[in-house]
Structure 1
């Protein structure tokens, strides 16, 4: 399982946040957590705009958000996940192999095929041996194409590790946090 962790550089902000106490500190915590949620959404949009053919909901589900608390004014976004099966990248069987769209444009994988296993799992597979083998079963000679292996595309953390995606996420965090914090502090001031 791969992990990608995003930690915003908030050293300058952290020093100024120490002056907030009580309700104001709760506003800082809410602002940090809301910014993390918006960064998660921005990450999903950036991965898709970078050309990866992954569903936005799957990207959002891969994130674990370690939320900020009054005692710990840090929020962490972690993307975890295994490589995604190629069947999920719009796989189509053709006479020359299987075509998939991992990034922009379709690619044909020669010698690959789509199959459904006995347990119902469907995937894109490729033979790993040297062609068909002859085996004897119940006195009959049969030809088998085993062993086979399933093919996978990039995982969500791998697609997030793209430099353009990381820069866009950090820019979104730097842009949104001051606005959200100002909004939260104004809300507290309006209640008094």
Structure 2
């Protein structure tokens, strides 16, 4: 699990919002909440971009196994706690996985990091699992037997989304970029509310 905390309290941007929207009922709260929601959306997009800087994986495959939970608090400003969770991602979903079609006879290749070349797994193969799993993955034989006498296999996985975000430097950079987005968006929200209010007068 990876957690990034965003907090807007006491900043110059909030003081400006209170000064400009103070006479509009609910104006400050509306502007701040909307700006923070956009900031969180920016953070989520940025997290995928940060992962793909280092890992050979498509945005769609990141999002497929990404669970994001957002909790807001509106005491003394506005805070958002963004939690990234999710299981380890099948190695087959990373770039460089081959063969592209299931085969039980050909050695499989795969890797997770962009900085490495795909590795050949001599005792592994690409296969599509039957329902209810129904997904394609890279599997290797463990050398053991199942209770039915068949070769026991296990799927190979890359890291999970929280592991790929993992670095504190990455989390701090994403937080900083999200708060810059908050301040930019807050100005937009202030102007939109002011324009709407003036039209009513």
**Length-normalised TM-score, structure 2:** 0.73
**Which range is displaced more, 5-14 or 165-174?**
5-14
Deviations along 1:111-139, one digit per CA (max 9) or x if unpaired, are 22222334344321112225x79x9x9xx
* Residues 63 and 145 (structure 1), Cα distance of their counterparts in 2 relative to 1, 3 Å cut: closer
Deviations along 1:64-101, one digit per CA (max 9) or x if unpaired, are 34264766822222212100111212421498832113
Aligned length: 180
Structure 1 residue aligned with 2:129, among 109, 117, 120? 117
Deviations along 1:20-61, one digit per CA (max 9) or x if unpaired, are 6611211000000011001111111111112x1222134346
Give the equivalent residue in structure 2 for 1:108.
120
**Unpaired runs of 5+ in structure 2?**
none
**Which range is displaced more, 55-64 or 75-84?**
55-64
> What is the RMSD computed on CA atoms of the aligned residues?
3.3
Give the equivalent residue in structure 2 for 1:98.
108
Give the equivalent residue in structure 2 for 1:73.
78
* Residues 100 and 170 (structure 1), Cα distance of their counterparts in 2 relative to 1, 3 Å cut: same
Q: Distance in 2 between matches of 1:116 and 1:6?
A: 36
**Length-normalised TM-score, structure 1:** 0.76
Structure 1 residue aligned with 2:142, among 111, 114, 128? 128
**Which range is displaced more, 170-179 or 40-49?**
170-179
**Which range is displaced more, 81-90 or 32-41?**
81-90
Give the equivalent residue in structure 2 for 1:177.
182
Q: Distance in 2 between matches of 1:12 and 1:54?
A: 39
Conserved 8 A contact 2:7-2:79: no
Conserved 8 A contact 2:51-2:164: yes
**Unpaired runs of 5+ in structure 1?**
138-143
Structure 2 residue aligned with 1:53, among 53, 56, 61? 56
* Residues 184 and 123 (structure 1), Cα distance of their counterparts in 2 relative to 1, 3 Å cut: same
